[in-house]
Each structure stands twice: as C-alpha cells, then as structure tokens.
C-alpha cells in the first residue's frame, strides 16, 4: 500500500488498479477517485460501464471472490495468521478483461469486532452507498445459515432493506446472492429457502406509507448462485467462479445482469456524483438519486446551453441572414438558417450526451426555443413576404382575367390554384424555405400559413364578388326601373279600367326577362343556389317596389290628375276638338262623363293591384259618389252600409292601399268644389248662346206687325224723308250694336244695362260723326260715287267689330270669348 492508501497490483493483463476511496474514518478521498478514473480511462466511457459492489460478513471471502472473479488485486485475509479485518472502508478497482468497462467496489465486512458499536452506522452508510452507485450488488451468504431464524446473514439483509427506504431510485438493482461453501443440497432448494427467508425479512422491515404495499420485486431483481468452499475444493471453486464470470460479460445489454440502465450517471460525472452521494449519506439525509442526477445534469446542461446561445447570437452567418431579410427574401434562407441551428444543437448534444436524458432534452429544447425566439421574427417576415407575394399575384391575375371578360368563378378558380401552387412550391422548395429540418427545429405548420393565405384570398374574392354583384344588381335594377317607371306612370294617367291589367302584364314580362338574364349572369359567380335564388327574389321585389313607388307618387297627385281628366272630357269632344257649347250640348251628361272619368282615375290609383285578385273599389266609389249619394237606392242594395266609411278596402290588404275610402271621400269633395265653377261657366255660356240666337221676336209677331202696320209702311214709302231718317237711325244703331256687347250688359240687369248704354250713347255718336268727317276729307273727290262709300262703311263696320271683340274678352273666360266670336261671325 502506498502513502495514499492505494495498492497497485499487476493483474493478469497488467491493467488492474485498486484504490481506497473511503478510509476507515469514513472520509472519502476525492483526489483518489479522480486519479483512479483518469488512470483506468473511465471518463471517456460515457454510459458504457457498470458498477459492481459486494457486501458480506467480515472474513466471508469477499475480496478473494472479487480477485478471482474480476482479476482485481484487493487484499485478502491470510488464514494462517488468524481471522481479522482485512478490508477497511471502501476500495475501488477495474475488472480485468470484461466488457463493458466494470467498476468493482469492495466494501468493509459487517459484524466486525474492530469497529464495535460504530459498526452498525458505517455498515448502513456503506450499504446505502453501494445501492446508490452500483448496478449489481453481490451479497456473501453462508450456506449453513439458510433457513435458520438467527442466522448471521439476516442482520445484513435487514440492513440492506432498511437503507433501501432512504434511497429513492427509479431503477431496479440486481441483488446477486452468492451462497458460499455450498453443501450437497441442490441449488433449487437452497434458492427457494433463501427467497422465503428474504421475503420474511422484507415483510418485517418497517416501511414508509408510500411503500407499505410495495413488493420486493419492485426494487430488486434477485439472482442466486452457489460456490463451493475455496479452502476445501479450490479447483471446483475456481471453475464455478469462471462460470459466474461469464454472466458479467455484456452485463448492461438487454437481458444482462445490469439491464436496467435508468438514471445512470455519465462516466465523466461518476467521480463527482459519488463524492456528492457520500456527503449526503454522511449527513444522514435521505438520498434521492433521481433528484441528485437531475440537479447535476440541470446545472451542467444549462451552462452548456447558455454558452451555445451566446455563440449563436454573435454568429456572423446569423447576423448576415437577419440583415438580408430586412431588404427582401434572401436566397436559400431555410437551408442557411437550418444549418446554423443544426451546428449549435449538435455541439450541445456532443457536450451533454451522457447526462440525464430528460434534463438534457429539456435544456436542448430550451436552447432550441431560445434560438427560435430570436429567429421567429425573421421567419415571420419571410413568411409574410411569401404570403404577400402570393396574394398580390392572385389579385393581379384575377384583375387581368376579369378584364378579359372571363367568367368570375372560373377566373377565381384558376388564379387561386395558380397562386396556391406557387406558394406550396415555395414552402416545399429547400432552396427557398425549410425542408425537413424546418419541421424538426421550427415546428412551423405550413398548413396554418397556407390556410391564412386562403382566408385572405377568399376575403379578397368575397370583396370583389360583392362589388361585382352590387354592380350587376344595380345595372339590372336601373334597367328594370327604366323599363317599368315610365310605362306605369303613363298607364296610371290614362285611368282606364284595364290599367292594372296592363301594368301586371308589363311587370310580369319585364321581370321574367330580367330574372332570366340575371340568373344567367349569376351563374358565372358559382354562387350557392340559395343565395342565387335570394338575389333573384330580391330583384323581383325591387321591380314590385318600383311599381309601388310609382303608384304612390301618382296617388299623391290624384286630385290634380282628376281635375286634368275632368277638364279634358268637359272641354273637348270625342274627336278632341274644343267644345263650343251650342244649344244642343247636354252639359249634365257631359259633366257626368267627366266626373266618371275622374272617379275611375281615382279608383285606379286607390290601390295596388299586382295580384289577380278582383276588388269592388270602382263600384263602391261610383255607387257612393255618383249614383245619388249616401241615400241612393243602388248603394242600399249592393252595400249594407256606406262603403266609404272605412279605412280599408274590401279584398285589398292594407299594405296595398294607396288611398283609403275616407280619403277618397275627402278628395272627391274637394274635387267637386274646385270643378263646380267650370260647370257653371259652361252652363252660363250655353245660356248666353241661347239668348244671342233668340233676340228677334217670334214670327207671328212680325206677321202681326206687318198686317197692323201696313198703313204706316205705305206712309213711309210715300215720304222719302222719313225713309232716309230711318236709314240713318238704323246705321247708327247698328254701329252702336257692333261696338257694345248689348247682350252682356243685360246679363247684369235691365236697369244697369240701360244706364250703361245711355251714358255711352252720346260720346259714341260724336265719335262716329268725327270719323265720318275725317274720312270725307281724306277721300274728297269732284264726282263722288256710291262705291267708295260702301268701302268706308264696310271699314267702319270692321273697326267697330274689332273694338267690340276686344272689350268683351276677359282673362278668366277664354272659352266665352271664342264662343261669342263664333256666334258673332255667324250673325255677320
């Protein structure tokens, strides 16, 4: 043994080393375990190594068994010098010639007299250390103690199970029970008895609440083997040890003795882990191996991850790529970013490959997430650029396609397929964006970006479609309005009985033609049938609203239209010639016809009749307003009460009512009041015409005067002077008659007429005499003849007639002047 407590013994292959890592005082030599690991080449083994330890009573041949089994050089007890403690503390060595790399721990024997009362404390500490760091724990048991209640191996097994309660390990430890100094009893019986003893010990050990129902198999894989006495049957012992050695080859492979590799510390951290475990044990704390492993791995992996992240952020390739994205889409963006991420993740994996897998993966994910947190803004800008390029291309292609009068739905379908195909090509092309590495590192779901692009394309399509549909609908509505408004107004103005029948025919013809054309136009938009039918229905409703609007406008002017109709019928005959109101004109009949025409016009405008439902509006109006009024016999027969004493029409819905019955009654009352004067004027003109034709006395009076005045007549013939005076009086009377409207004067009364004539008689005679004198001076001739006198007389008559006509006319009676003029013409 050297000064450090290590023993270097050349083994069978000259490569075995042994070192004391825990001294007799219970202190671990960290430097010694580090030197052993470096000398044996343990640090470069990763996870490809196994740890085997041995427990057993003092002097049971533990070191001898390890030296023969693994080729180690632990110190052995010399039986010739008596039985005493040989191994103190804990020793470590490398197994010679066994793969994988196997670390062998030789622990101080239990139940030794050298330690006395301290034996139990160190025994438990060393047993707990062996369970914490070992894959395989060998326990030396005497064969003659199997089946005995107070055997020497029972305290040892109880100690192992008790310290197990303080060890929280995720993996099973292989418990290899080595039965020493085997007798003739078959191994099967010995194993069965041993397992029964072990089960009794396990059941008797006090367990925490969490492990009360736990079975022994939950913590240990129990194996058993038997060896003959080394002192009595050495050759057989060596042969059996050789067979047992074969079981340690490939012990960490599946099915091997140390197959459960969960929670194994990397070989580079074995020395540090062992030191920390022993410190925890010495402090008498419960040893939570998973927590210990996680703590060590967490600290180290986090340091490595932070260092890689720092290098990533300062990487020139990453900085150049980030700057390139600001000005556009750099070539091979995905491949370049993927290569940068891979390089730093690979470096992390190499440095942490032997640490706890969960911690390593978590810290790797943390490193990856940290790098991607800085990369995501750049990736989003790239995706946004790709998204905008595809969307702009779609908009441009769609606009160009629609400009060439291609169908809307077909244009959208073709342009959408083209844009999405280019987008998909950009997403899957490694030279443009990520390929497989993008999914592994970024976990970027291209379907989300693709769906977002489709949503934006669909939104743009909806916007364009709505604009096109609105434009199309507006065009058809304008055409319908132009085709319906004017004709409906014209038909309503006629006010004929078949007005609404004509409107219905017009409405149905125009709306059917428009609906067919509109449906054909909508087919280009590939709309849902429900939406298409709704739009056609809306177009029909618009056409109906045009008719209703025009009807309501005309109904608002019904009084004016009625008066126009009344005056047209009253003042014009069937040939549309102005009436002269001769004596044979039947004003009463003409007035009734005029009022009937106005009433029919009001009945036409009283309600909307776009349906074929019959109604009694015209009959009700005629009965109530023309056929004798409220007490007429016809109304009492056909209507039980006043048909106009209501706010609705029979068989007409309120929404189709334009003029209510009550309103019709009020309008008719106003209409009659405003047309009464025209009727009275017509009657006055007819009466004046009648009087102008009857100014001469009857024929019998003329005959009687001729018979009775025969003598006077003969007297005038015999006296020419009287005849000349009569002629002059006649001329003067005729001139006065032509200058004044004598008939009009007498309309206002006889007395007023006589006073008017007498007041104007003398000025008129003087005026006539002055005109005669002036004419004589202008046309003076030495031989006057009778012919020029005739001409002057005729001119005088014409002038007199013109003055009379001018004085008779008045602004409010144009028809009267025309009638008088015509009558005067007839008289002349």
pLDDT band at 641 (very low <50, low <70, confident <90, very high): low
Q: Which tokens belong to 502? A: 């004509």
- Asked if 243 and 178 touch (Cβ cutoff 8 Å), the reply is no
Q: Which tokens belong to 340? A: 């940068």
d(CA 371, CA 356): 22
Residue 165 scores a pLDDT above 60: yes
Residue 692 scores a pLDDT above 80: no
Nearest to 140 by CA among 237, 54, 70, 71: 54
Q: What pLDDT, on the 0 to 100 scale, is given for residue 571?
A: 87
Q: What pLDDT, on the 0 to 100 scale, is given for residue 121?
A: 76
- Asked if 101 and 42 touch (Cβ cutoff 8 Å), the reply is yes
d(CA 352, CA 360): 6
Non-local CB neighbours of 332 within 8 Å, separated by 6+ positions: 430, 431, 432
Residue 675 scores a pLDDT above 60: yes
Phi first, then psi: what are they for 773, rounded to 5°? Answer: -65, -45
95 vs 47, higher pLDDT: 95
Residue 694 scores a pLDDT above 80: no
pLDDT band at 697 (very low <50, low <70, confident <90, very high): low
Q: What average pLDDT does this structure show over 785-814?
A: 37
d(CA 472, CA 409): 15
d(CA 324, CA 333): 9
21-37 residue pLDDT tens: 998 888 999 899 989 99
pLDDT band at 824 (very low <50, low <70, confident <90, very high): very low
Query: Of 119-133, 261-275, 284-298, 626-640, which range is least confident?
Result: 626-640
CB atoms under 10 Å from CB of 631, counted, come to 7
Q: What pLDDT, on the 0 to 100 scale, is given for residue 476?
A: 92
- Asked if 55 and 108 touch (Cβ cutoff 8 Å), the reply is no
Nearest to 817 by CA among 741, 733, 748: 741
- Asked if 56 and 64 touch (Cβ cutoff 8 Å), the reply is no
Non-local CB neighbours of 789 within 8 Å, separated by 6+ positions: none
Query: Of 275-279, 596-600, 693-697, which range is least confident?
Result: 693-697
Nearest to 473 by CA among 437, 426, 434, 525: 525
Residue 532 scores a pLDDT above 70: yes
- pLDDT above 70 coverage of the chain, percent: 79
H or E element in which residue 127 lies: helix 119-133
d(CA 420, CA 406): 20
- Asked if 490 and 515 touch (Cβ cutoff 8 Å), the reply is no
d(CA 660, CA 648): 6
DSSP state of 606: T
Residue 255 scores a pLDDT above 60: yes
DSSP string, 806-827: HHH--TT-HHHHHHHHHHHHHH
Q: What pLDDT, on the 0 to 100 scale, is given for residue 113?
A: 60
Non-local CB neighbours of 549 within 8 Å, separated by 6+ positions: none
CB atoms under 10 Å from CB of 679, counted, come to 18
This prediction has a pTM of 0.46
H or E element in which residue 522 lies: helix 499-522
DSSP string, 409-472: HHHHHHHHHHHHHHHHHHHH-TTTS--HHHHHHT---HHHHHHHHHHHHHHHHHHHHHHHHHHH
Residue 802 scores a pLDDT above 90: no
CA dist list (Å): 361 to 49, 171, 268, 346, 448: 22, 20, 19, 12, 27
Q: What pLDDT, on the 0 to 100 scale, is given for residue 20?
A: 92
CB atoms under 10 Å from CB of 508, counted, come to 12
Nearest to 56 by CA among 73, 74, 40: 74
Query: Of 13-22, 197-206, 539-548, 605-614, which range is least confident?
Result: 13-22
Determine the straight-line distance between the first and last CA of the chain, rounded to whole angstroms: 176
Signed CA dihedral, 595, 601, 606, 610: sign only: positive
pLDDT band at 381 (very low <50, low <70, confident <90, very high): confident
d(CA 40, CA 470): 87
Q: What pLDDT, on the 0 to 100 scale, is given for residue 696?
A: 59
CB atoms under 10 Å from CB of 211, counted, come to 13
Q: Is 141 helix (H, G, I), strand (E, B) or coil?
A: strand
Give the full edge-to-edge strand order of the sheet including 101-107.
18-22, 90-94, 101-107, 49-55, 136-142, 173-180, 220-226
Q: What pLDDT, on the 0 to 100 scale, is given for residue 811?
A: 35
Residue 712 scores a pLDDT above 70: yes
Nearest to 170 by CA among 293, 28, 26, 44: 293
CB atoms under 10 Å from CB of 283, counted, come to 8
Q: Which tokens belong to 264? A: 């194994």
535 vs 631, higher pLDDT: 535
Q: Which tokens belong to 634? A: 């016809």
CA dist list (Å): 82 to 62, 71, 72, 119, 748: 16, 25, 23, 21, 179
d(CA 90, CA 22): 5
DSSP state of 179: E
Residue 72 scores a pLDDT above 90: yes
Q: What pLDDT, on the 0 to 100 scale, is given for residue 303?
A: 76
Nearest to 604 by CA among 487, 485, 497: 497
Q: What average pLDDT does this structure show over 220-233?
A: 89
483 vs 813, higher pLDDT: 483
Q: What average pLDDT does this structure show over 439-453?
A: 67
Residue with tokens 């803004």: 377
DSSP string, 52-103: EEEE-BTTSSHHHHHHHHH--------GGG-S-----SEEEEE-TT-SSEEE
- pLDDT above 90 coverage of the chain, percent: 16
402 vs 315, higher pLDDT: 315
Q: What pLDDT, on the 0 to 100 scale, is given for residue 21?
A: 92
CB atoms under 10 Å from CB of 729, counted, come to 10
H or E element in which residue 790 lies: helix 786-808
- Asked if 605 and 554 touch (Cβ cutoff 8 Å), the reply is yes
**β-bridge partners, 723:** none
Query: Of 226-235, 685-694, 749-758, which range is least confident?
Result: 685-694
Look at strands 90-94 and 101-107 and give their pairing.
Answer: antiparallel
Non-local CB neighbours of 227 within 8 Å, separated by 6+ positions: 65, 178, 179, 180, 181, 182, 237, 240, 241, 244
d(CA 229, CA 179): 10
Q: Which tokens belong to 391? A: 């969307």
446 vs 402, higher pLDDT: 402
Chain centroid, CA 110 distance in Å: 79
Residue 71 scores a pLDDT above 90: yes
Q: What angle do CA 436, 442, 447 make, to 5 degrees?
A: 75
Burial class (CB in 10 A: 0-12, 13-18, 19+), 589: exposed
DSSP state of 230: T
302-333 b/e with 16+ CB inside 10 Å = b?
A: bebbeebbeebeeeeebeebbeebeeeebeeb
688 vs 649, higher pLDDT: 649
Q: What average pLDDT does this structure show over 497-504?
A: 90
Non-local CB neighbours of 82 within 8 Å, separated by 6+ positions: none
- Asked if 572 and 580 touch (Cβ cutoff 8 Å), the reply is no
pLDDT band at 651 (very low <50, low <70, confident <90, very high): confident
Q: Give the helix ranges, DSSP H, for 20-61.
A: 30-40
d(CA 806, CA 814): 12
């Amino acid at each position: 043994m050297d000064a450090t407590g290590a023993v270097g013994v050349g083994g069978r292959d000259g490569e075995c080393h042994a070192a004391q890592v825990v001294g007799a005082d219970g202190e671990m030599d960290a430097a010694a375990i580090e030197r052993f690991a470096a000398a044996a080449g343990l640090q470069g083994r990763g996870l490809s190594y196994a740890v085997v330890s041995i427990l057993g009573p003092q002097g049971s041949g533990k070191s001898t068994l390890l030296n023969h089994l693994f080729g180690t050089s632990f110190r052995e007890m010399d039986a010739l010098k008596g039985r005493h403690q040989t191994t103190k503390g804990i020793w470590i060595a490398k197994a010679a010639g066994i793969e994988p790399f196997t670390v062998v721990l030789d622990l101080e024997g239990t139940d030794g007299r050298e330690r006395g009362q301290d034996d139990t404390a160190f025994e438990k500490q060393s047993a707990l250390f062996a369970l914490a760091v070992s894959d395989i724990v060998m326990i030396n048991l005497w064969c003659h103690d199997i089946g005995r209640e107070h055997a020497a191996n029972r305290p040892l097994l109880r100690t192992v199970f008790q310290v197990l309660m303080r060890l929280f390990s995720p993996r099973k430890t292989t418990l290899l029970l080595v039965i020493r100094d085997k007798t003739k009893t078959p191994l099967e019986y010995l194993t069965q008895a041993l397992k029964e003893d072990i089960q009794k010990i396990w059941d008797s050990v006090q367990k925490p609440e969490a492990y009360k129902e736990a079975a022994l198999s939950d913590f240990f894989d129990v194996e058993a083997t038997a060896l003959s006495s080394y002192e009595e049957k050495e050759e057989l012992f060596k042969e059996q040890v050789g067979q047992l050695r074969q079981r340690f080859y490939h012990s960490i492979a599946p099915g091997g003795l140390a197959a459960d590799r969960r929670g194994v510390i990397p070989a580079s951290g074995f020395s540090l882990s062992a030191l920390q475990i022993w410190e925890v044990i010495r402090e008498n704390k419960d040893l939570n191996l998973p927590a210990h492993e996680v703590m060590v791995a967490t600290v180290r992996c986090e340091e490595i991850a932070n260092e890689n992240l720092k290098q990533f952020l300062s990487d020139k390739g990453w900085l150049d790529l980030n700057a390139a994205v600001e000005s556009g889409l750099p070539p091979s963006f995905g491949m370049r970013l993927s290569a940068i991420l891979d390089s730093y993740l690979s470096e992390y994996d190499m440095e942490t490959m032997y640490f706890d897998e969960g911690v390593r993966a978590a810290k790797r994910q943390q490193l990856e997430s940290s790098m991607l947190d800085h990369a995501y803004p750049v990736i989003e800008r790239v995706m946004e650029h790709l998204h905008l390029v595809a969307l702009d291309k779609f908009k441009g292609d769609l606009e160009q396609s629609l400009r060439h009068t291609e169908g809307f739905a077909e244009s959208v379908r073709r342009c959408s397929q083209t844009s999405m195909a280019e987008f998909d090509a950009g997403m899957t092309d490694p030279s443009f964006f990520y390929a497989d590495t993008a999914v592994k590192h970024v976990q970027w779901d291209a379907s989300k970006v693709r769906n977002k692009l489709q949503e934006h394309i669909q939104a743009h399509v909806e916007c364009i479609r709505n604009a096109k549909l609105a434009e199309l609908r507006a065009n058809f509505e304008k055409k319908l309005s132009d085709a319906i408004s004017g004709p409906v107004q014209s038909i309503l103005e006629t006010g004929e009985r078949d007005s609404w029948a004509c409107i219905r025919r017009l409405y149905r013809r125009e709306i059917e033609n428009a609906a067919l054309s509109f449906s054909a136009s909508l087919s280009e938009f590939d709309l849902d049938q429900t939406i298409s039918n709704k739009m056609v229905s809306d177009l029909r409703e618009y056409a109906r609203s045009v008719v209703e609007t025009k009807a309501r406008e005309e109904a608002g002017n019904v009084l004016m239209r009625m008066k126009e109709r009344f005056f047209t019928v009253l003042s014009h005959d069937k040939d549309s010639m102005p009436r002269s109101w001769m004596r044979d004109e039947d004003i009463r009949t003409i007035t009734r016809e005029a009022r009937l025409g106005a009433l029919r016009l009001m009945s036409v405008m009283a309600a909307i009749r776009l349906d074929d439902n019959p109604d009694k509006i015209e009959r009700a109006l005629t009965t109530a307003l023309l056929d004798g009024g409220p007490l007429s016999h016809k109304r009492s027969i056909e209507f039980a009460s006043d048909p106009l004493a209501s706010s609705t029409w029979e068989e007409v819905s309120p929404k189709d009512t334009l003029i209510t019955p009550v309103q019709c009654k009020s309008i008719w009352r106003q209409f009659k009041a405003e047309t009464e004067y025209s009727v009275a004027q017509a009657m006055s003109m007819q009466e004046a015409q009648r009087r102008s034709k009857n100014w001469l006395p009857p024929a019998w009076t003329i005959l009687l005067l001729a018979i009775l005045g025969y003598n006077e007549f003969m007297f005038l013939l015999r006296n020419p002077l009287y005849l000349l005076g009569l002629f002059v009086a006649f001329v003067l009377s005729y001139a006065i008659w032509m200058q004044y409207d004598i008939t009009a004067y007498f309309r206002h009364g006889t007395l007023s007429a006589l006073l008017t004539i007498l007041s104007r008689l003398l000025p008129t005679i003087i005026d006539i005499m002055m005109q005669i004198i002036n004419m004589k001076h202008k046309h003076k001739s030495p031989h006057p003849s009778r012919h020029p006198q005739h001409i002057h007389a005729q001119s005088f008559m014409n002038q007199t007639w013109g003055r009379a006509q001018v004085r008779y006319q008045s602004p409010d009676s144009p028809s009267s002047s025309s009638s008088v003029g015509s009558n005067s013409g007839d008289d002349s």
